Chain A
Amino acid sequence: MKLRSALLGASAIAFLSAGSAQAAGDLFFYNWSNYFPPELMEKFEEETGIKVTLDVYDSNETMLAKLQAGASGYDIAVASDYMVDVMIKEGLATKFDAKSLENFGNVAKPHDTMKYDPEREYSVTYLWGTTGFTYDAAAVDGELENSWKEFFEPREEFRGKIGALNDEVEMFNAASYYAGVEKCTEDPAEAQKVLDILMKQKPYIAVYSSEGTIDRMSAREVQMHMQWNGAAHRTKESIPEAVFVYPKEGLTYWADHFVIPDGAPNLENAKTFINWMMKPENAAEASNYAGYMNSIKGTGEFMDPSLNADPAVNMPEEYADLLIPSQNCSVKARDLRNRVWTKLKN
Chain B
Amino acid sequence: MGNIIRTKRFWLVAPAVVYIGFFMAVPLLQMAYVSVLERGDYGGVNWGAFSMDAYISFIFERDLMDNLVVNTDYLQIFVRSFGLSAMTTVFALLLGFPTAFYISTQPQSRRNFLIFLVTIPFWTNILVRNYAWMLLLRNGGLIDGALNWMGLETGGLDVLYTPYAVSIGLTYTYLPFMVLPIYASLEKLDHRLVEAAFDLGADKRRAMSRVILPLAAPGIAAGCILVFIPCLGAYVTPELLGGGKFMMIANLIGSQFGAARNWPLGAGLGFVLLALVLISMMVYSFKFKSLPEESR
Contact = CB atoms under 8 A, between A and B. Distances in A.
B255 A341 contact: yes
B244 A61 contact: no
A225 to B, nearest CB: 13
A346 B43 contact: no
Contacts of A248: none
Interface stretch (A199-207, A267-275, A283-291): A199-207
Contact of B260 (A59, A205, A207, A338): A338
Contacts of A97: none
A208 B245 contact: yes
Contact of A346 (B246, B255, B261): B246
Interface string A160-172: 0000001111000
Interface residues of B, number: 33
A89 interface: yes
Contacts of B244: 166, 207-209, 345
B185 interface: no
A86 B41 CA distance: 9
A345 B259 contact: no
Contacts of A62: 258
B246 A345 contact: yes
Nearest to B131: A212
Contacts of B252: 342
Main secondary structure of the interface of A (DSSP, over half): helix
B251 A68 contact: no
Interface string A211-222: 000000000010
A65 B43 contact: yes
Interface in B212-268: 239-240, 243-247, 251-252, 255-262
B43 A64 contact: yes
B255 A168 contact: yes
B208 to A, nearest CB: 42
A205 to B, nearest CB: 7
A246 to B, nearest CB: 25
B43 A345 contact: no
B243 A342 contact: no
Shortest beta-carbon contacts, A-B, top 6: A208-B244, A207-B243, A338-B260, A61-B258, A86-B42, A166-B244
28 contacts: A59-B258, A61-B259, A61-B261, A64-B261, A65-B43, A86-B42, A90-B44, A166-B244, A168-B259, A205-B245, A207-B161, A207-B244, A207-B245, A208-B244, A209-B240, A331-B41, A334-B262, A335-B260, A338-B255, A339-B73, A341-B259, A342-B73, A342-B77, A342-B247, A342-B252, A345-B77, A345-B246, A346-B247
